[in-house]
Structure 1
């Protein structure tokens, strides 16, 4: 009898959780979600960078006769938005590419900025199915991060 009562209580508790929807993990509720950035907003990217509200999701670096060069794909996970940043020895144009099929095809450049020795793009929606990569056109040659 105690086992049946415990089982009934557990079943009710699980049913209550399911009716409310999961909040994370692979069984999360699929409520509509919208990114917290409008495509191309440089002020949003600048604010998140200034307040440390990002992770550096992907990086590509190279060294030449002018010094160390770095392209970063930065990402704000709460807003699900990404932007590109470049720092280097010579001016480069930084931009973002975005794909809906894992990088097989893409649209870009988006948010082109520069050429400058330090430049960044605005923030762009990176919510699925979107993936993004950061690129810098450096001396006529693109240097891009992996897709994220």
Structure 2
């Protein structure tokens, strides 16, 4: 079993999903995930938001979105339905399969047809957005 570590201490506020196991890390490094302007993507500085590598499943669009000014990224699902889930995976490993990674911001549509995760620090890391619409399998964007 692999655990995402930073100098021997588990990275904070992360839920790691590895080989079907879920591990919750200590809050020691919560700042690693913080973005300037807060975790709400709508509150980030600047206006440049770029969708990156969208994927489609069951009529839904799952995309990783990125704000260059804040160096933050988040996941978004559109054309969805209540119960559809969205989250981001975050990794310090820039090449290969990016393992291990932290699963961040798991959320789901409660009402309406779209939802976004919180925004997370992307400076020097790679991220992807993943989703699981009700009645469909898991799908992820490419790493960016």
User: How high is the TM-score relative to the length of structure 2?
Assistant: 0.63
Query: Quick one: distance in 2 between partners of 1:132 and 1:39?
Result: 19
Query: Quick one: distance in 1 between partners of 2:33 and 2:48?
Result: 15
State the 4+ residue runs in structure 1 displaced beyond 3 angstroms: none
Structure 1 segments unaligned to the other structure (5+ residues): 1-33
Determine whether 1:147 maps to 2:139.
no
User: 1:1-148, aligned counterparts within 5 Å?
Assistant: 37=35, 41-42=39-40, 45-48=41-44, 52-62=47-57, 64=58, 68-91=59-82, 92-102=84-94, 103-108=98-103, 110-116=104-110, 117-128=113-124, 130-139=125-134, 141-148=137-144
Secondary structure of the corresponding residue to residue 86 of structure 1 = strand
Task: Name the Cα RMSD after superposition.
Answer: 2.8
Structure 2 segments unaligned to the other structure (5+ residues): 1-31
Q: Give 1:141 shift.
A: 2.4
Q: Give 1:48 shift.
A: 4.7
Query: Quick one: distance in 1 between partners of 2:50 and 2:60?
Result: 19
